[in-house]
Amino acid sequence: MNALDIQNLSRVYKGKKGREVQALSGLNLTIGQGEVFGFLGPNGAGKSTTIKTVTGQIRPTEGMAYVFGTPVAEASGRMRIGYLPENPSFYDFMTAREYLLLVGRTFRMPEDRIAAETVRVLNLLELEEAADRPMRGYSKGMVQRLGLAQALLHDPDLYILDEPMSGLDPLGRALVKRVIKELKEKGKTVFFSTHIINDVEVICDRLGVINKGRLLAVDSVANVLERGAEGYLIQISHHGTTTEEVFIPKDRLKAFMAEMVASDASIERIEPMRKDLEEFFLGLVRGGDDAARQ
Ligand SMILES: Nc1ncnc2c1ncn2[C@@H]1O[C@H](COP(=O)(O)OP(=O)(O)OP(=O)(O)O)[C@@H](O)[C@H]1O
């Protein structure tokens, strides 16, 4: 059974002067259990609309989303999700501990479990020192980390995170990446949106690229990087004296190696030259990389 199953999801908003905005067009996507999936797209691509729809906050104009086989329209499906909204904000007169108590009760957790899980998630997100201070004194990064802490509180199996790295400094970003990696190690599923392409390369199994409400590509990160491999920059030396650098295209590598074995030259260094994820992403979004589309 898939953790998340998105079937033919579309969403139209009524914009200014009754103009319709097609924010999402026929999105189909399945996320397997235990996967970390990065959902990439430029501003206005439809990422938040997708996330709000699959967490049951807004209704799709068409299509369905299922969480572990249960429609998100049903509360029992939504209860299995840990959700971090884009730009979370809280009642700022409350302390983090009070707020987490509220969240725990919403998920009908027993009080002793709420207390224990509160300690766990505050420690994990390095917020224990601030636990009993009103949130009005929190920095932007602390609010963002508390947003993730509340998504973790009821220990769900699926995490849907809208821009989890946003507003964080490099330390905060590293911490959130570590938390996502730990969730994966525990067999949890994570679906998160981002603009930050390098975060996808480091922590995701697969990625999807969305633009103008349409899914342009879905692939494993490994495949994207492999497909982007264009060739190798190889430094060779002759008799250990003269060196030269040659560029060998990917499909010529085997033949080149055979030639090297037969010759008296030796290889000093091999450096893969590849398109990175950023180029892949930009190529798709600009419509310039038709070959990579599905
Ligand atoms: N409530 C709304 N009413 C009208 N149009 C909307 C509404 N919410 C979003 N849109 C439009 O739908 C499209 C998709 O927006 P969405 O917020 O899903 O994009 P996004 O990929 O999350 O963007 P960002 O990265 O900037 O948050 C955009 O054209 C946006 O202007």
97-115 pLDDT, tens per residue? Answer: 999 999 999 999 999 999 9
Q: Is 76 exposed, middle or buried (0-12, 13-18, 19+ CB in 10 A)?
A: exposed
Q: Among 10, 11, 13, 214, which residue has the most ligand 1 atoms within 8 Å of its CB, making it the best to mutate?
A: 13
Q: What is the pLDDT of residue 275?
A: 65
Atom of ligand 1 nearest to the CA of 24: 14
pLDDT score of 16 more than 90: no
> pLDDT tens digits, residue range 152-184?
999 999 999 999 998 899 999 999 999 999 999
How much is the CA Rg of the chain, to the nearest whole Å? Answer: 23
Position in ligand 1 atom list of the atom nearest CA 213: 14
Mutate to test the pocket of ligand 1, among 11, 47, 195, 196 (most ligand atoms within 8 A of CB): 47
> Among 8-17, 85-94, 110-119, 269-278, which stretch is predicted with the lowest mean pLDDT?
269-278
- What pLDDT, on the 0 to 100 scale, is given for residue 9? 96
ipTM over 0.90: yes
The pLDDT of residue 289: 42
Ligand 1 atom with minimal separation from the 14 CA: 4
288 pLDDT exceeds 50?
Answer: no
Decide if pLDDT at 10 tops 50: yes
Residues in contact with 111: Cβ distance below 8 Å, sequence separation at least 6, in sequence order: 104
In the three-class reduction of DSSP (H, G, I as helix; E, B as strand; rest coil), residue 53 is classed as: helix
How far apart CA 164 and CA 81 sit, in angstroms, is 15
pLDDT digits (tens, 9 = 90+) for 23-32: 999 999 999 9
- Ligand 1: centre distance to CA 51 (Å): 11
Q: How far apart are CA 213 and CA 178, in angstroms?
A: 30
Which residue minimizes the CA distance to atom 1 of ligand 1? Answer: 13
Interval between CA 211 and ligand 1 midpoint (Å): 11
Please report the pLDDT score of residue 238 as a whole number. 80
| Predicted TM-score of the model (pTM) | 0.83
Angle formed by the axes of helices 111-124 and 140-152, nearest 10°:
140
Q: How far apart are the first and last CA of the chain?
A: 23
Location of structure tokens 């946003």: 166
Ligand 1 atom nearest the C-alpha of 11 is 12
Alpha helix (H) ranges present in 186-276? 197-203, 221-227, 253-262
- Residue with the two structure tokens 């497909």: 227
pLDDT tens column, 30-87:
999 999 999 998 888 999 999 999 999 999 999 999 999 999 989 888 899 999 999 8
Q: Which residues form the pocket of ligand 1, taking CB atoms under 6 Å from any ligand atom?
A: 13, 15, 21, 23, 41, 43-49, 86
150/49 Cα distance (integer angstroms): 21
| Strand-strand pairing, 189-194 and 158-162 | parallel
Ligand 1 centroid distance, CA of 22 (Å)? 9
Confidence class for position 292, pLDDT limits 50, 70, 90: very low
Report the nearest atom of ligand 1 relative to the CA of 162.
22
Looking at per-residue pLDDT, the higher value among 182 and 202 belongs to 182
Q: Tokens for 293, please give them.
A: 């589309």
Distance 205 CA to ligand 1 centre (A): 26
Give the pLDDT of residue 279: 76
What is the model's pLDDT at position 95? 97
Quick one: average pLDDT of 129-140? 95
The larger pLDDT score, comparing residue 18 to residue 192, is at: 192
* Distance in angstroms (rounded) separating the CA atoms of residues 172 and 178: 10
How many Å lie between the centroid of ligand 1 and the Cα of residue 117? Answer: 34
In 3D space, the residue among 251, 253, 235 whose CA is nearest the CA of residue 243 turns out to be: 235
Residue-wise pLDDT for 208-267, tens only, equals: 999 999 999 899 988 877 766 677 888 888 876 777 888 887 788 889 988 888 888 888
The per-residue pLDDT for 109 is: 96
Q: How far is the CA of 42 from the centre of ligand 1 (A)?
A: 11
Distance 92 CA to ligand 1 centre (A): 26
Cα 165 to ligand 1 centroid, rounded to whole Å: 19
